[in-house]
Structure 1
Amino acid sequence: MTLSTAIARLNAADPDFARHLDHLLSWESVSDDAVNQRVLDIIKAVRERGDAALVEFTQRFDGVQASSIADLILDRERLELALTRITPAQREALETAANRVRSYHERQKQDSWQYTEADGTVLGQKVTPLDRAGLYVPGGKASYPSSVLMNAIPAKVAGVGEVVMVVPTPRGELNELVLAAACIAGVDRVFTVGGAQAVAALAYGTESVPQVDKIVGPGNIYVATAKRHVFGQVGIDMIAGPSEILVVCDGQTDPDWIAMDLFSQAEHDEDAQAILVSPDADFLDRVAASIEKLLPTMERADIIEKSINGRGALIQVRDMQQAIEVANRIAPEHLELSVADPQAWLGQIRHAGAIFMGRHTSEALGDYCAGPNHVLPTSGTARFSSPLGVYDFQKRSSIIFCSEQGASQLGHTASVLARGESLTAHARSAEFRILDNKGN
């Protein structure tokens, strides 16, 4: 196969730059009518027939010869066995990554708080972990033990009572690295089911699969469509689009490094997006040359080629200030500030899922072991969304305790506002507790 790239070249000085950039960034997770209907049918079947439907779909879609749901359950002992089946180097890497992820996320944990006003009224917030969380893990060709760590560990740090993992095993193939990661992360139960049927089982529960409060983790179009449909019945993390990387570089980083950083996201799939922004036109040329040179050396060269040619870009800007403006416009999942003094520009970054500071900080470190979560907002949603974290597995309840005097004082205010809204029962409920109104 002959490999070649024709990565788009854009210039922010062009009058139609904004239109070209919008076209480059456009992506929508489209579930056609056939996919949507199939997912609805699967959800309906799981709700009506429970375990029997799970077994049937797993036989049909994954080629697993399961006679009952018991064949699709892995106990804790099986997860511990996986630890002995991976190499010592793999186990050490998983444990190192897990420790770093846990240490980082422990800093995110929120605690309950209260304060008391002068009249004795107490206000506060009670923080409570979810009872149960469901973790979807892709199976088959995909092997993402890092996603197990990134999803399960924050849940455990938050204090979630039970973490239930679902993972498809096409043709019965178990991925020992994924199971070992589940063991290290503290996953409580594992079911070897996948697809929309796994999402439905977690959302509604079956005879064997417990109903969860929130479903997290990546999946294909069927999984994403199912998550859309069950949202409201359960919480979900997000509907993620293709992986993205935006590199802002001053032109002084090794162009081979930058090319490989772009490849690191392009190799995920053909729809992934890799963009470089720089004020140095000659540097963009050198990175383009590095892309051509290094592409044939990559194991996933065909995927990288399609991603780079289809959605990649090299963008020339006037200066670093404009580079930051373009970065904020894109609101990328991963942003590398490959510059001499990244701290000087950090304050101007408004929209990014994760920010990688300096020439030596590759995005790949964040994917695996730096510590912060790699589940990040995509497709421009970093404008209003945040990385997955401990806070996603905690919920907050307001605390309100009024003393007799406090209820009386607040009652006057509530009464005026309630009557202004023509909600008389609200007003009278508050007025009953006004001290000089008692008995009225």
Structure 2
Amino acid sequence: MNPLPILAEHAASWRTAPLSSDVEHAARRALIDWFAALLPGCRQPPATLMARALADERGSGRAVSYVDGARTGLRHAALINGTASHIVEFDDIWRWGVYHPGCPTVAAALAAAQSRGTDMAALLRALVAGYEVSCRIAQAVQPSHYDYWHTTGTVGTFGAAAAVAVLLDCDAAQTAHAIATAATMAGGLQQAFRGDGMSKPLHPGHAAEAGALAAMAAREGMTGALDVLHGPAGFAAATSADTGKWDKAIAAIGKPLTITQMTVKNHGCCGHIFAALDATRDLQREHGFTANDVESLHVGGYAATKNVCDRPHATTEQEARFSTQFTIASIMLYGGVRLDAFMPARLTDPAIRAVMPRITVSLDEECEAAFPGARSAKVTIRLRDGRELYRHQPTRKGDPDAPLSDLELDEKFLELAGPVLGEAEAAHFLGQLRGSDELPGELKLRG
């Protein structure tokens, strides 16, 4: 079965498909969550560096580059905003695909909507299409794709292509060619975030720009190889252990729509640590111990928790966001892992450094068998008074089976956006995202 025509037909149907109240609500939540992650990232490298590097190439246009406030072209805005939205690690997750769809999909779709002068409803329909296409492709190539590839950089290209194709009013044939061309521009290596460096946030930025380019070219008649997803030398064959679980992924289209099943991050770090953080926080609340009371803490998790996040000697901000040891020490000492957890003073905090060597990580077969559908952890804590505490955390706060409420999402948005926009402006903007029929436009960032 060739999955591409089926995905393209579904995506193209969202040009005119009605938005039910629950789907509109979910799409607006995705937009709110994207801006929550974007705005603090607008102040930080590499987004600020990328904006400066490309300043001479900005050109003219109606899309907004939120990093520097400039009106610019579709591709430039998609690249810069997509990069900025991945920096502080607060972006949404499609857990079955090990994938952050919001960063590339919303960045590209919003830039296209602003460029075309559409309304909010058109943007939301495009987001539904982009999430659905890319999440189903991610589902088909996982879990083996994640052995070497960063799904947000690879599969995100399809989300951007499908969403922009909808906003450019591409028919199903054009949309298929957009997705096909996007496949050959997909990229993003795991090593980019297993070590240090700034290139990881560029993955969704590149995906947003490349996907947008693929859709723009397809709209003008450029064709792609329509067997590129499942063919013997195609995307799945090149980036996963086989040619893809397409039957399962295609059968799941719209049942339910993926945008209604997002994980909303509740911690500002790698999602592979979340279950362990939740378990540690809950055990500490229940038993009242301090970090100094802990003799040892052990995390049993799935492969990514061990392979990506077992970093006992993390020192930089990038390493710390992916360190089980650093983040668990932080939550025990300070009660949370938010933006302030990665400030310079915290990175060298002697209290955190004293706790980190007591925290170990191993692969747990039960957690690994449940991945990627469940993101679980087993936490065992030995206290200096002789007590041993244990928690099997089967899911994460923010996952679809333990979702953040609208109030909790609003609180997250205001916490992250308030320092960037000002509290009053952040609250006003949140109201617009919740209920306005008009597209988001320019924002004035403080400082």
Bigger share in helix? 2
Length-normalised TM-score, structure 2: 0.25
Q: Give the structure with higher Rg (CA).
A: 1
Bigger strand share? 1
TM-score (norm 1): 0.25
